[in-house]
Amino acid sequence: MSDRNEQVEHRLITIQTIRHRETGLIVAMSDEMKGLYVHARTDADLLERIPIAIRDILEADGYEVLDILEVDTPPEVDAGFLPALRRFEASLTARKAA
């Protein structure tokens, strides 16, 4: 568990989504986060899986992840479209001592 005196870092992660024309498979990836590739058949499944993948990568890098939220939700979402770019914010503490 995190010490309350530790400084919380907020990291913005831009996610690009693409959809395969023939199969409809959606893939999310990020240039900012090596190894982040998430696939799903629906936008809802993708949005459920992205924070899990972000958390797994950050924890593997030694961070304690406090929260992950989508920020700046694009207006296309309310209109029923799958936006090409989404942004997530991870709240985390400094690297754990080895």
Q: Note the pLDDT tens digit of each residue in 11-69.
A: 999 999 999 989 999 999 999 999 999 999 998 899 999 999 999 999 999 999 999 99
If one looks up domain 8-93 in CATH, what number appears? 3.30.2390
Bridge partners (DSSP) of residue 88 are 13, 70
State residue 63's pLDDT score.
92
Q: Report long-range pairs for 61-67 (Cβ below 8 Å, ≥24 apart).
A: 61/95, 62/95, 62/96, 62/98, 63/92, 63/93, 63/94, 63/95, 63/96, 64/1, 64/2, 64/92, 64/93, 64/96, 65/90, 65/91, 65/92, 66/2, 66/8, 66/91, 66/92, 66/93, 67/91
Residue ranges of domains in the chain: 8-93
State residue 13's pLDDT score.
93
